[in-house]
A and B are shown apart, each in its own frame.
Chain A
Amino acid sequence: MEDDTIFIIDEAIINCFFSEDNETYCKADLFFNYLSLRKHHKKAYMIPSLYKRIYKKLAEKNKEVALYFENWVEEADFIGESDENSEAEDTLALLDILSSVEDSAVILISDKFVKDPLFKNSNVISVDNLDRFLRGKKDFMDIIHKMYYEGSY
């Protein structure tokens, strides 16, 4: 089941995990469990400004929630963010850096950038397509069914 794909996320998949809608939540749940079951790249990258914003908001409420977030999300503090750049430009820079230094495929999971012309030559998928991508991985889904969900997926 293991693939080397490196994932970059924005707030979309996090919002899904916090969703009250069970179907929406399950999409994010499947993704984070997928990361946990891997040997490599067990965290998804996020641009630093967004990471800090989410972490701070969570830690203000309960540090445990923030520390769980940290278990699955890596702050990409190696990119040089600046106030002059938009979030889209910073995200694209992160995609470009990872694509150039890593041999693995790099995929951005983002509902807001999936149709953005800035990303037309990049690997960007929506949360819905991520869900289809993961459900297409038979070995992974077999493990998930067997270990945790007993057919609920």
Chain B
Amino acid sequence: MINKNSSGLVSIKIIKGSELPETTRAKYGIAKENFVEVRIERSSPPKFRILPLEEKESPSSRWRSVIEKEGLIGQKFS
């Protein structure tokens, strides 16, 4: 069963500010070298959410945080 809280979410991309259009960078105050999380949610039209990463927050840290939150630490795949 898919978690209901994120059922409308279709994509999460961690990208550098340099990959965003200049106008978007200006709107959110994002530097080219900073990372942002782009979330796309299912709706018509699709909803985009741009969430800048905090200073000193590494690109993979949110993934690890949600793994911890869901009690998946120690999970093994084979």
Distance of B37 from chain A, by nearest CB (Å): 9
Question: Given A59-B2, A65-B63, A150-B56, A15 and B9 touching (CB < 8 A)?
Answer: no
Say yes or no: A62 contacts B75, CB within 8 Å. Answer: no
Are A67 and B75 closer than 8 Å at their CB atoms? no
Q: Does B64 contact A (CB under 8 A)?
A: yes
With known contacts A61-B72, A63-B6, A32–B67 Cβ distance under 8 A: no
Set of chain A residues within 8 Å of B59, measured between Cβ atoms: 32-33, 36-37
Q: Can you name the residue of chain A whose Cβ is closest to the Cβ of B11?
A: A67
- Overall SS of chain B's interface: loop
**Do A68 and B63 touch (CB < 8 A)?**
yes
A65 touching B67 by the CB < 8 A rule?
A: yes
Cβ of B49 under 8 Å from chain A: no
**Chain A interface SS verdict (over half):** helix
Cβ < 8 Å to B, chain A residues 8-49: 11, 14-15, 17-20, 25, 29, 32-33, 36-37
Contact A61 B3 (CB under 8 A): yes
* Given A64-B12, A67-B12: A18 touches B70 (CB 8 Å cut-off): no
Scan residues 10-56 of chain B and give those whose CB is less than 8 A from a CB of chain A: 10-14, 16, 35, 56
Q: How many A-B pairs fall under 8 Å by CB?
A: 94
Given known A-B contacts A11-B77, A32-B60, A63 and B9 have beta carbons under 8 A apart:
yes
- Docked Cα-Cα span, A72 to B72, in Å, equals 18
Task: Flag if A19 contacts B74 (CB, 8 Å).
Answer: yes
Q: Which 8 A-B pairs have the closest CB atoms?
A: A36-B59, A68-B63, A67-B12, A148-B58, A32-B60, A63-B6, A11-B77, A62-B3
Question: Which residues of A approach B to under 8 Å, CB–CB?
Answer: 11, 14-15, 17-20, 25, 29, 32-33, 36-37, 50, 53-54, 57-65, 67-72, 147-150
Interface residues in chain B, defined as those with a beta carbon under 8 Å from any beta carbon in chain A: 1-3, 6-7, 9-14, 16, 35, 56-60, 62-64, 66-67, 70, 72-78
